[in-house]
Amino acid sequence: MAVYTGLKFGGRDMPCPTEDGVKFANEKIWSDNAGRTSACLMVGDIRAIKKTISISWANLKPAEVKRINEYISNVGVAFFEVTLLNECFEESTYTVYAGTPTYETWGWDENRQLCKMLAVDLIER
């Protein structure tokens, strides 16, 4: 059995997500003829399943945010590989693009240099 080595973007180690910080959605891609009949029955074929992986991190140092941003907020890198345990606890690699990341930072008056929360959706290509 292979040993799980943690979350990787492009083969590079990333900070560990929060305890409940990885969520998967299996999105169905339907055929062009999919839709509802006049009797409201669904018709069509499922052509593929693609993953949407939602990841969130907490209490990141500035260098960790920069490392993540090299993949999720990089004009020169539209697609990249993410490796992690899937919903069946098997290590899998997906080619993805990043949705719009959100950042929550500590207040300036607390004199902390941490990103309180960072979250992003990774959508399979």
**Closest by Cα among 120, 118, 121, 101 to 61:** 118
**Closest by Cα among 21, 4, 20 to 121:** 21
- Mean pLDDT for the stretch of residues 1-20: 85
pLDDT score recorded for residue 111: 66
Tens of pLDDT, residues 17-76:
998 889 999 999 999 999 999 999 999 999 999 999 999 999 998 899 999 999 999 999
- Does the pLDDT of residue 3 top 80, yes or no? no
Strand ranges inside the chain, DSSP E: 8-9, 12-13, 22-30, 35-36, 42-43, 46-60, 80-85, 91-98, 102-105, 115-124
Tens of pLDDT, residues 66-125:
999 999 999 999 999 999 999 999 999 999 999 999 999 876 666 667 788 999 999 999
With b for 16 or more beta-carbon neighbours within 10 A and e for fewer, the 43-68 pattern comes to eeeeeeeebebbbbbbebeeebbebb
pLDDT score recorded for residue 105: 84
